[in-house]
Amino acid sequence: MQSSGGRLGRLLVGAAVITATGMSVPTAATAAPAGTTGPAETYLVLFKGSQSPADAGAAVARAGGTVVADYSKIGVLVARSGDNAFDDRMRADRRVEGASATSRFATSLDVVQAEGSQPGELPNAPAGDGDETFAGLQWDMRQMQVPQAHAITGGSQAVVAGTIDTGVDHRHPDLRANMSDADSANCLSGAPVPGMVAADDDNGHGTHTAGTIAAADNSAGIIGVAPNVRIAAIKAATAEGYFFPEAVVCSFVWAGDRKLDVTNNSYFVDPFLFNCRNDEEQRAIWKAVQRAVRYAQQQGVTVVASEGNNSEDLSHPTTDATSPDYPPGNEVTRDVTNACVVLPVELPGVIGVTATGSFTQDTTEGQYPDSLKSYYSSYGMSTADVAAPGGDFYFRGADPGAQAIQGQVLSTWPEGLPCTRSRQETTGDPTYPTATYCGIQGTSMAGPHVAGLAALVISRYGDLDTPQNGKMRPTQVEQIITQTADPQACPETLPNSNAVGSAQFGRPYATFVGSESGAPQECQGNGGHTSWYGQGQVDALAAVTGDRSNG
């Protein structure tokens, strides 16, 4: 499997109660008024104030809907209604800024201060490297100096990394020791159902990202970037890979309420790849997601997001040809501008990650950067903060591990789900006899490398601070990651593909376009900050020592 993709689906929700997070949910459905027609839809309602009004539930009922979840602290409410005029009625309320149906809105799953920092007070310990069964195939970890960083710290059990994704196979032998049941939840309906069993993975994508973040140090399988930290599975996508906006809002509020340390986000939100201010429905969802992300950040959650697999310059978008992609077949081509953004990667304070492949096999010093941007990876001067290994089938470099798995990133995979390029290991456990590891490429694979690094940074430098601020402020985490990254200049020349045996063998990099606009991929900037690499390739050893000279 060269890349992982998906689409968005819909799940209904039943009655609920007041939760420990303070989210109010009705215990019984309120019947919509007579005359409603059509199947029930899910809606996001955005209030103008910072909180939902006290009579929000009554207002929803008057408009012909029922409340699924009221995230009062950010002024966002999830509702259900079979009345096709529900959103218009809600928008007629002067307290409502926007109301938008979400069930036809698709999001694609994309698989495709450092100097002088002093260690904090969190308990953490080194991790071993090299004795994992498939360590030789983990070119990605070698590329960002993870084994060297592990000699200093493998992370802290006091740190929790959330993966907002398709869920996690919590039984996987390389993950189960690090799973945090109390911090996991299923958010598909828009209201959280707690627990890692509820957040089980039926797609594979979330289990893969979880393994990159924190596969355990257990001399088996693989090892993650932060093998000693705990994993929170936050299920926000269906088996088909569809993300509903209400599930994403629920996920960020959950992460904020639980004060998770970092979340990985390898997806896009909303009906369109680009979300435009001048569209009433897109604007409402855009602002709802923005409020939820801001709330999580205010609780100390560092938010990491992938740039996407469209080979597109997100800072200069011109065309969106693949949206809306749900239901399938509804795509239209439209012009877009910088008034349109990709969520969540373009939201303030989010660490945007581009993907790179293995080290280039050309050894001419200075001809190519240490690692080449993956041909599929989107990028942008205003969106890319750092680059991380995501895999590249066609420009896989010379690392033997990368060659052995055809340039892909190897990570954990659920039992029984298909994978084209996989490795298996016998566990000796009758309840889980075979552990599977899958090779995939995509910016979805790059993001969790940075999320794992954020978990290492927090483990190394974090303190048991006030509950409001968490262990480290997200801005501090971002500064350490970006300031210790290995700067990558724009390449002077570009290589031909080296995927031996492929029909694309020898094809010039410049011909791998695949963007929404069809425009050629052009790297802008200098060695300090570029559109392809941001501040550079992340360096785990430099990040945990505060010394870029280790790179």
Q: Tell me, yes or no, if the pTM score tops 0.85.
A: yes
Integer Cα distance of 404 and 416 in angstroms: 23
- Three-class HEC string of 291-338: HHHHHHHHCCCEEEEECCCCCCECCCCCEEEEECCCCCCCCEEEECCC
Integer Cα distance of 43 and 77 in angstroms: 8
* Tokens standing for residue 93: 């309320």
E runs forming strands in 403-458 = 409-413, 422-426, 434-440
Looking at residue 19, what is its pLDDT?
27
Integer Cα distance of 472 and 414 in angstroms: 32
Question: How deeply is 191 buried, as exposed, middle or buried, from its count of CB atoms within 10 A (0-12, 13-18, 19+)?
Answer: buried
* Tokens standing for residue 304: 């990491």
Integer Cα distance of 338 and 276 in angstroms: 9
Task: Say whether the peptide bond before residue 26 is cis (omega within 30 degrees of 0).
Answer: no
Going 165 to 252 to 347 to 57, the CA torsion angle's sign is positive
Give kind and range of the element (H or E) at residue 286. Answer: helix 280-298
Integer Cα distance of 441 and 273 in angstroms: 20
Q: How confident is the model at residue 322 (pLDDT cuts 50, 70, 90)?
A: confident
Closest listed residue to residue 259, CA positions, set 160, 123, 124 = 160
What angle in degrees, to the nearest 10, is found between the helix axes of 245-258 and 280-298? 10
Instruction: List, in order, residues 6 or more apart from 217 with CB less than 8 Å away.
Output: 127, 128, 150, 154, 223, 227, 228
Looking at residue 546, what is its pLDDT?
87
| pLDDT tens figures, 166-195 | 999 999 999 999 999 999 999 999 999 999
What angle in degrees, to the nearest 10, is found between the helix axes of 474-483 and 443-461? 110
Q: How confident is the model at residue 28 (pLDDT cuts 50, 70, 90)?
A: very low
Integer Cα distance of 254 and 263 in angstroms: 11
Q: What is the separation of C-alpha 160 from the centre of its chain, rounded to a whole number of angstroms?
A: 15
Q: Which of 263-277, 383-397, 512-526 has the largest mean confidence?
A: 383-397
Integer Cα distance of 192 and 185 in angstroms: 6
Could you say which DSSP state residue 412 is in? E
Taking 80 as the threshold, does the pLDDT of residue 15 lie above it?
A: no
Task: Say whether the peptide bond before residue 344 is cis (omega within 30 degrees of 0).
Answer: yes
Domains and CATH numbers, the chain: 135-360+368-550 (3.40.50.200)
Average pLDDT, whole number, for the chain? 87
Could you say which DSSP state residue 496 is in? B
Looking at residue 104, what is its pLDDT?
64
* Ordered alpha helix ranges (H), 299-442: 400-404
Taking 80 as the threshold, does the pLDDT of residue 334 lie above it?
A: yes
- Dihedrals phi, psi of 436, to nearest 5 degrees: -110, 145
Share of the chain above pLDDT 70, in %: 87
Integer Cα distance of 463 and 496 in angstroms: 48
Residue with tokens 């590891």: 437
| pLDDT tens figures, 428-459 | 999 999 999 999 999 999 999 999 999 999 99
Residue 56 near residue 24, CB atoms below 8 Å: no
Question: How deeply is 328 buried, as exposed, middle or buried, from its count of CB atoms within 10 A (0-12, 13-18, 19+)?
Answer: exposed
Looking at this protein, which amino acid is placed at residue 155?
G
Beta bridge partners of 371: 359
Give kind and range of the element (H or E) at residue 439. Answer: strand 434-440
Q: What is the separation of C-alpha 452 from the centre of its chain, rounded to a whole number of angstroms?
A: 12
* SS3 of residue 142 by DSSP: helix
| pLDDT tens figures, 209-267 | 999 999 999 999 999 999 999 999 999 999 988 888 999 999 999 999 999 999 999 99
Taking 50 as the threshold, does the pLDDT of residue 207 lie above it?
A: yes
Q: How confident is the model at residue 549 (pLDDT cuts 50, 70, 90)?
A: low
Residue 311 near residue 232, CB atoms below 8 Å: no
* Tokens standing for residue 411: 């990570």
Looking at this protein, which amino acid is placed at residue 259?
K
| pLDDT tens figures, 456-514 | 999 999 987 656 678 999 999 999 999 999 999 998 888 888 877 788 888 999 888 87
